[in-house]
Structure 1
Amino acid sequence: MPKGVVAIVGTTGVGKSELGVQLAKALNGEVINGDSMQVYKGLDIITNKMPMKEREGIPHHLMDFLESSQEYRVTEFTEDAIKIINDIHIHNRIPIIVGGTHYYIQSLLWKNSLIKDYDDKEYDNDSENDEILNSETDILYKRLQEVDPIMANKWHQNDRRKIRRSLQIYLQTGKCHSDWIKEQNQPDEKALSLRFPRTCIFWLYADPKVLDQRLDKRVDKMIEEGLFEELIYLRNKVKNESVHTSSGESINYTRGIWQVIGCKEFEPYLKALEETPHCDNNVIDTIKESSIEAMKAATRRYSRKQIRWIRNKLLLKCQESNLDGADANCVTLEKWNQDVRDVAIRITKEFLDNGTGPDPKSLSSEANELLNPGTDMNTFDNLKTWTKYECDICRIFNDNSPVVINGLANWNQHLQSKWHRSNVKFKKEMDMNWDGQFPPWFKKKKSLAS
């Protein structure tokens, strides 16, 4: 077989790891982990690592090697994975990338998915930039408005993380974030962007209603297998090593291992156990059940988010590559119990041998519907037409400070929200009965409305 790469994407809990092992067995392949949480040592339950006995002796790379106090960036993953893929090719084997962190996989498969050499680490020897990036959010936003007004218009003025990232890209590269996006969307860039000449992507899909039930049961199984013990171990490890956020006050659930679903959701329960060891068991049980439901809901939301990424980002990249003659196919396999393994093996062999395969949309009615990419809101044309909206009605009930809504879709959603409709009704009542004096209950109503 010529040197090729296979990637398996899809939502959490849909069977990607199992398909990866079966393909590796049939194709003399090795698995490369594409899940940002499974890189951490231990914590096998909460990160949903495939048990060793189920891997059937297939080598798994980039898994279980990072300390919980460390962070692993997408730039590091891409660099490490490329080295491993080259080594696997040297030994005439097939690399199979498996995971649900789709921006990791996309950044690996396409050259221009990331801004070249971008890294969000602090600057080591640039105190001026370091001082700028640690400024208050309003100062960062004003600075971004000066150097890159297009991206400033894109982000909400209070979204510190995105504002800071766009500003840091400018400071590190000397080029605006919006200019990078513009270059990445040029036709010649798209045509040359596929990193590996022969790439086959499988999208393993399950009906969300069926998947929701499976995900709920998986959370229950994780608890039975020792989820709480892992969480308690992780919390104690943090306390013993004094690994906190820069403020030293609380855990940052947007960084490192703390992003994994379960850490944030079970925080109230574990905190209650620590602070009130003699608390009424009924109270503890109530908090526990609430945390379990929160984890299940977060897992379901994450699965929807993964589908949106595939449709709005990954499928767009596949479509661009196909239109420009690159050998990239994206296949949806909707049900595991309908010969998923055999179909996947047949398609992969045909594709790697001949560079051709079946029309992905012909595989099922679901595939025909799903394999229509959405709109990437980070294309340069979309950035230029991005609009912010201010709601004058809700401003009144928000201490008269601006209520800023980003984008038309969010604006329409805001207009239908309970908060906005309540404020419209209340303002109408006030306009009809205004006598120059606020009623005594206005402050209470204002608090409720805001």
Structure 2
Amino acid sequence: DTATVDTATVDTATVNIATVSTTPLTISATNSIDNESNVTEKTKIIKEMENIYMHDSLLNPSNEIKIVTNFSKNNEKKKKKIIIIIGVTCSGKTKFSIDLCKKLLKYNITGEIISADSMQVYERFGVGTAKINKTEMENIKHHMLDICKHTKEFNAHKFIKNTIPLIDHMYKNNKVAVVTGGTMLYIESLLWESVIDLKKKKNNNINIDRLIGEEIKSEGVYSDGIGLEGIDSDRGVQKINNYEKYTNSELYSKLSKIDPERAKQLHENDRKRVCRSLDIFYTYNKKHSDLIKLLCHKNKNKLNKARYEMCIFYLDYENDNVLKTQIEKRVDFMIANNLLEEAMELKQINKNKDLKKIDNKKGIYQSIAYKEFDEYIEKKINNINDENLFNACKNKLIQKTYKYAKKQRKWILNRFVKTYNIPLNKIYASENYEEQLDRAVTIVREFLKN
């Protein structure tokens, strides 16, 4: 139980920090992760869950089977150790990270939280992005919050440029980084150097920041705010290459000729990603489809190739009805805590600009928590109170956030578990919280001292 973060590699084949059942994790039809009407998708997801390698140690304390732990072993080089907390939106990742850090302090382990959320990096506007406030931090130090103007762009490359030095500094001061959030692209970019290798290539004559980290299975999973679309704008890239003078059809035709495999993965009107794939080819003389294969191929040694040793906790709900209820509660909470006032303020900030020209693919404007109420706010400004419209906007926000949560789940299962074979410590957010938290503390202590 040392306060230092021991970077020594683990030379043994197994480490006993968790006890789980030897049988695969099974989810019954009554607790499936989709609604009952979609039987095909339900069966598919259940089948996927049955075949993944996921630690369920926090739920099965009675089993005594030793298994391989959820952090990398037999590394050629000593690596810094970090804790990662991921999961679907509204699953309580922020609270769990704070509670975990507080409990670890009792064992002289100081954790500092790094937010991995693409919207919470922006200053102010904390309600629509579900940003924690100073009181809620409970004296646990937080990083990567409120570091960017709301009109500016922030992306995965900028995230790792800021985060890697933070982790280095924590390590030198005998502290451990607890990376917490729902922007999975940020987390993957932090863990694996291969995601940003293009930065080192020659002919770097375009804005590479907007090219880095575009992998087919991680598209659209960008934030843990309430229902965020997370559009990674490529307008600067398009401008440099004069793509604006071409129609969608013409651009798609170009891509079909140089990279037909990638073209088949995209819709003709998906201009942003078509332009990105064209840029990769013209700049690096490499097909984007080949790059995706390189980044997404199944690699049993993916853990050993990671930048850090990692202990990952995955928060989710056993029943999607509970998830949807939590989303509804969060939307109600946001509205009660001035979500609409925040949206109104955004309009006021831009009152001297043509609102039609505001780039909703840039900065805080990506958040649909604001966009979904735009029509209602316009009427409110003109002293028109339309309750039916308000309820419609609210319900639309709930549905989009629910859909987004399922996209997060799919990303985690497909990317971390199926593709990279990375086991996770799963926590059911609605069950036996204190018991699961205590076992999580045990897992972290064992992870750090090995």
Q: 1:75 aligns with which of 150, 157, 161?
A: 157
Alpha-carbon distance, 1:105 to partner: 0.8
Q: Secondary structure at the match of 1:116?
A: helix
Q: Distance in 1 between matches of 2:151 and 2:258?
A: 34
SS in 2 for 1:305: helix
Residues 362-417 of structure 1: CA deviation (Å, up to 9, x unaligned):
xxxxxxxxxxxxxxxxxxxxxxxxxxxxxxxxxxxxxxxxxxxxxxxxxxxxxxxx
- How far apart in 1 are the matches of 2:145 and 2:247? 37
Q: 1:197 to 1:218 in 2, by over 3 A?
A: closer
The residue number in structure 1 matching 2:349 is 237
State the Cα distance separating 1:184 from its structure 2 match: 2.8
Q: Could you say which residue in structure 2 is the equivalent of 1:261?
A: 368
Cα deviation 1:408-448 (Å, max 9, x = unaligned): xxxxxxxxxxxxxxxxxxxxxxxxxxxxxxxxxxxxxxxxx
The alignment partner of 2:402 has SS state of: helix
**1:352 and 2:429 correspond:** no
Q: How far apart in 2 are the matches of 1:190 and 1:175?
A: 25
- Whose helix proportion is higher, 1 or 2? 1
- The structural deviation recorded for 1:129 is 5.3
Q: Determine if the alignment matches structure 1 residue 40 to structure 2 residue 130.
A: no
Q: 2:425 aligns with which of 331, 346, 349?
A: 331
Alpha-carbon distance in structure 1 between the residues aligned to 2:287 and 2:304: 21
Larger relative contact order (Cα-Cα within 8 Å, sequence gap ≥ 6) = 2
Alignment of 1:45-444 (within 5 A): 45-114=127-196, 116-117=198-199, 118-120=208-210, 130-132=241-243, 135-185=246-296, 191=302, 194-206=305-317, 207-240=319-352, 242=353, 249-274=356-381, 276-277=382-383, 279=384, 281=385, 284-319=386-421, 329-338=423-432, 339-354=435-450
Looking at structure 2, the residues matched to 194 and 259 of structure 1 have their Cα atoms a distance apart, in angstroms, of 33
TM-aligned CA deviation for residue 197 of structure 1:
4.1
How many Å apart are 1:169 and its aligned residue?
1.7
Q: Distance in 2 between matches of 1:21 and 1:128?
A: 43
The letter of the residue matching 1:153 is: K
Following the alignment from structure 1 to structure 2, what is the Cα–Cα distance between the partners of residues 197 and 75? 17
- Structure 1 residue 264, shift from structure 2 partner: 2.0
Q: Is the 8 A contact 1:123 1:130 kept in 2?
A: no
Asked if the contact 1:112/1:189 (under 8 Å) is kept, the reply is: no
Q: Are the counterparts in 1 of residues 122 and 146 from structure 2 also a CA contact under 8 Å?
A: yes
1:13 corresponds, among 90, 99, 110, to 90
Aligned partner of 1:120: which letter?
R
Q: Which whole-Å CA distance do the structure 1 matches of 2:238 and 2:195 have between them?
A: 29
Deviations 1:307-351 (A, max 9, x none): 1111111223540xx5xxxxxx41101145512321111111112
8 Å CA contact 2:117, 2:183 repeated in 1 = yes
Q: Which runs of 5+ in 1 are unaligned?
A: 323-328, 355-450
Normalising by structure 2, report the TM-score.
0.69
CA contact (8 A) 1:201 1:331 kept: yes
Shift of residue 24, structure 1, vs aligned partner: 2.3
Structure 2 contact 192–306 (Cα < 8 Å) conserved: yes
65 and 139 in structure 1: CA distance in 2 versus 1, 3 angstrom threshold: same
**Preserved contact between residue 4 and residue 196 of structure 1 (Cα < 8 Å):** no
Once the two structures are superposed, residues 137-194 of structure 1 have per-residue CA deviations (whole angstroms, 9 ceiling, x without a partner) of: 1121121122212111221122212211111222332311112123335677954774
Instruction: For residue 352 of structure 1, give the secondary structure of its aligned residue in structure 2.
Output: helix
Supply the AA of the counterpart residue of 2:445: K
Change (3 A) 1:53 1:188: closer
DSSP 3-state at the match of 1:63: coil
Measured in 2, the distance between the counterparts of 1:229 and 1:251 equals 19
Distance 1:227 1:254 in 2: 20
Distance 1:163 1:224, change over 3 A: same
- Structure 2: give runs of 5+ residues left out of the alignment: 7-79, 200-207, 212-233
Change (3 A) 1:133 1:216: same
Superposed CA RMSD in Å reads 2.5
Cα–Cα, structure 1 residues 90 and 133, in superposed 2: closer, same or farther, change >3 Å?
A: farther
Change over 3 Å in CA distance of 1:123–1:268 after alignment to 2 = closer
Q: Secondary structure at the match of 1:53?
A: coil
Distance in 2 between residues matched to 1:103 and 1:308, nearest whole Å: 13
Q: TM-score, normalised by structure 1?
A: 0.69
Whether contact under 8 Å (1:231, 1:263) holds in the other structure is yes
Query: Aligned letter for 1:90?
Result: K
Rounded to whole Å, the distance in 2 between the matches of 1:297 and 1:19 is: 25
Measured at CA, do residues 9 and 78 of structure 1 come closer, stay the same or move farther in structure 2, by a change above 3 Å?
same
Residue in structure 2 matched with residue 362 of structure 1 by the alignment: none
- CA distance in 2 between counterparts of 1:261 and 1:14 reads 19
Change (3 A) 1:332 1:318: farther
How many angstroms does 1:44 deviate by?
A: 1.0
